[in-house]
Structure 1
Amino acid sequence: MKAIPYQYIIVEKEENIAIITMNRPEKLNALNLELQEEMKHALDTLYMDDEVKVIILTGAGRAFSAGGDIGTMKEAHQLDPLLLRQALYQSTSEVTNRIWNYEKPIIAAVNGVAAGGACNWALACDFVIASENARFGEVFIHVGLVPDGGGSWLLPRLVGLQRAKEIIMMGKMVPAEEAERIGMVNKVVPEKDLMSTAKEYARILASLPPRTLGAAKRTINKAMTTSLGEAMDYEMTMQAICFQTDAHRERVKAFLEKKK
């Protein structure tokens, strides 16, 4: 296992799987500006690393992340609203953008609470594995704020409009089993099995053609904002590209040879 040094996150590589661990356990991995900057740098670095096929995102200690660091929010009260808007976008939202748009599969392994912007980072991931003690919350309303990091866009698409309004507007915490039932989570497992399950998903994904996986992720995500006709048109574009890849041709050849 190879570690890459950061202050507020830990990045480790196990063969072709990278694990990013938010590492402020004494603060329940609350998102200060420095952690978010390190997240952006780590995601950029791992995206460009051809050895890395899959990324797992998790938190150290007893939480995934409690969300924004309330202790630092008072500093924002002094900022001009336009500067504050820019600063907010360049932190939480830019991490969400990377998780959503980078073509490598990203798995959230959620232990304990995932709140605020960190909840939305998890929802932006391609797969969410949760421990039995996990809880998800758009808790912004409790500090007089609205969701950031894409929560108002991601959550309704996962659970429907009415449930999303209940979770966001009432600041409701959603336990792991309910989160699985309503579509926020792929799988709930005992806490001791969380990372092994996430790694099992990662190994399966890492065994598949990376360009094809990236094309599939891009095709699905793009379809979220297009009509059926536009989605099918984009599918055919990506399919034509995939037909030209070595991965497709080699797998077709292997399949036909196996049938002989």
Structure 2
Amino acid sequence: MRAMRTERKVSLGVRTTAAAGLAIGLLVPFGVIAALIVGKSDGLRELDNDVTDTLHVYAIAHPGWVEAMDWWSLAFTPNAWRLAALVLVIWLARRDEVVLAWWVAVTMAAGGVLGGVLKLLFGRHRPDLLDPVARATGFSFPSGHALNAALGAAVFLLVLLPRMRGRGRRVALCAAGVLLPVMTAYSRVALGVHWTSDVVAGLLLGVTVPAVTVAVFQGRRVRERAIG
């Protein structure tokens, strides 16, 4: 029995370390992008402009494609992910998994607040195109759509993947967890309402937040079991 407890403590410690390492690894490229924006990097500005101009030319010539991107962007708004997370919280609470339900709620709330605060801190303006195919309000960095899509997808993957039976279902869930955020990020650049660096930073931050909260959550469990 003592050996089993020791093994569980070690396993929790490994998961905590892995989550913390992932968070640090994701924060590094996010920090690089943020530093380049603050420093008004010519290279980053040229890259952002080149991608935006290329996609805008294509959008002008393909209104059906623009409509598809618009519908996708509307379907996966930050509020849509928050509503889905609320349903997940209720489902977990009804199964008496209260701690996990709290983790979902806190993680989604933390990501939303962090994104809003960073937008105000950086105050980056959105692309200003002569003939825009879509419009959006507020500041640009980081992309709220990309951040919340990555955040929501990561939360759902962490909660649902261990419960999935069958390799096909697990692969499908993982594919959806990658495809939905990436396509959402792409739609925002395709519509000309975000720079590429906005959505890349949003995706990075969206995965970082649950990695941090998992590390905190697991770290607390490690301490509780050590005391116990």
Q: Same fold (TM over 0.5)?
A: no
TM-score normalised over the length of structure 2:
0.30
The structure whose RCO (Cα within 8 Å, separation 6+) is larger is 2
Relative to the length of structure 1, the TM-score reads: 0.27
More strand by share: 1
